[in-house]
Amino acid sequence: MPAQPLSRRQFAVGVGAAIAVAARPTLASRLFQRPSHPPGMIRLDANENPYGPSPKALAAITNSETISMRYPDDAYEGIRDDIGRLHNVKPEQVILGCGSTEILRIADMATLAADGNVVAAEPTFEAVLRYARATRAAPVKVPLTSDFRHDLPRMAAQCTSRTGLVYVCNPNNPTGTFVTRDELSRFFPEVPKSTMILVDEAYFHFADDTQYASATEWLETVPNLVVARTFSKVYGLAGMRLGYAVGSKSTIDLMSAHLLSDSCNAAVLAAGRAGLEDQAYVSSCRSRILATRTAVVARLRSKGFRVLDSQTNFFMVDTGSDVHSSIEEFRKRGIIVGRKFPSTPNWLRVTVGTDDEMHVFSSAFEEIFCGTNVCALAK
């Protein structure tokens, strides 16, 4: 039958609906939209590497113009091989994503159902919980321990037959704290085999406590374990977007079904391979950042402020009051610091920048919180 013409009312309703859909913010913009920053601001808000990528990675990006006209299949396979060798796993046990946030998204898509749930600490990196809403899965938030660490026994106890995913960020964002090798070894057997255990090691390279261990140690013995890493932190490629995960072949296959084809571009794949090869640069960045962090934390503590022990390239400091107004005070002084976390409203998260940037930050911090040389929290 030929299509019937639309009435004016039907046409108006259709146009209105289309406008409403177009005006609605996308999931991605609601999740990760960041405010624009004027030029020249000191950026201490997103846990990036202030020294940028390896010179070899920059050269690889420049030279990628010779392969940019082709789909990046060969480059994808090449870096997957490299990562497999790094973790002593087969290439088919490696999956790449557009940043590790894509890895977290497809983990949700692969494991969460509308009547299921995801277990995570509170506070922690929120992408897994936010993406879970798209599947209509329920978040189960487990408060941190009194020393601001994951409460793994309580998290395991919250996992049931309905739990598709349990998420452990180690070291944790935003607190910078970590769970130990012994705690992980006790945690893994307590989680149902039907639940994916996703350990996010975005800040692995900055952890130097002898009790810390990468969850990759358990890949052979815990088949429901997936470990995520990123090139956004120590490798300095946050703007290029590259992350990966390793796990059992069956679990990686399950996640791959939800992966966008060719989500990693040729330039970032080339940069990632070059960055992996330049471990001397990685070590240099790590050493500089940790030395700067140690100095800044010591300065804050000398003024009487409580700062959490950090195993990352950022730290959290207790300002003694809601951080909302102080964030704006830093902005007035040309410094962007981390946002407010509802469950820790008095704690300010600060990314470690260069020595010069952190000197400016420290002076501004004392000006905001100490006034005329008398700190509000000084003991």
Last-in-domain residue among 244, 277, 310:
277
Whether 270 and 286 share a structural domain: no
Instruction: Name the residue range of residue 151's domain.
Output: 55-277
Torsion angles phi and psi, residue 139, rounded to 5:
-80, 140
CA distances from 149 to 60, 118, 127, 297, 358 (A): 39, 18, 19, 19, 26
Last-in-domain residue among 233, 255, 277:
277
Whether 245 and 107 share a structural domain: yes
Whether 332 and 210 share a structural domain: no
Q: How many domains does the chain have?
A: 2
User: How many angstroms separate the CA atoms of 169 and 277, rounded?
Assistant: 26
Whether 182 and 302 share a structural domain: no
Whether 362 and 261 share a structural domain: no
Whether 338 and 311 share a structural domain: yes
Whether 123 and 238 share a structural domain: yes
Last-in-domain residue among 277, 294, 323:
277
Whether 254 and 128 share a structural domain: yes
Please indicate, yes or no, if residue 254 is contained in any of the structural domains.
Answer: yes
Q: What is the pTM of this model?
A: 0.89
Whether 201 and 229 share a structural domain: yes
Residue 334: how many CB atoms within 10 A of its CB?
13
Cβ 142 vs Cβ 117: under 8 Å: no
Q: What are the residues whose beta carbons fall under 8 Å from the beta carbon of 336, sequence distance 6 or more?
A: 37, 41, 42, 43, 44, 45, 330
Please indicate, yes or no, if residue 293 is contained in any of the structural domains.
Answer: yes
Q: How far apart are the first and last CA of the chain?
A: 83
Whether 91 and 203 share a structural domain: yes
Q: pLDDT in tens for each of the 379 residues of the chain?
A: 444 444 434 434 343 433 333 333 444 444 445 566 777 899 999 999 999 999 999 999 998 877 778 888 999 999 999 999 999 999 999 999 999 999 999 999 999 988 899 999 999 999 999 999 888 999 999 999 999 999 999 999 999 999 999 999 999 999 999 999 999 999 999 999 999 999 999 999 999 999 999 999 999 999 999 999 999 999 999 999 999 999 999 999 999 999 988 899 999 999 999 999 999 999 999 999 999 999 999 999 999 999 999 999 999 999 999 999 999 999 999 999 999 999 999 999 999 999 999 999 999 999 999 874 446 444 4
The DSSP line for 325-378 is HHHHHHHHTTEEE----TTSTTEEEEE---HHHHHHHHHHHHHHHHTTT--TT-
Please indicate, yes or no, if residue 304 is contained in any of the structural domains.
Answer: yes
Please indicate, yes or no, if residue 14 is contained in any of the structural domains.
Answer: no
Please indicate, yes or no, if residue 375 is contained in any of the structural domains.
Answer: no
What's the CATH code of the domain at 293? 3.90.1150.10
Look at residue 78 and give its three-state secondary structure. helix
Whether 63 and 143 share a structural domain: yes
Please indicate, yes or no, if residue 222 is contained in any of the structural domains.
Answer: yes
What's the CATH code of the domain at 146? 3.40.640.10
Whether 285 and 228 share a structural domain: no
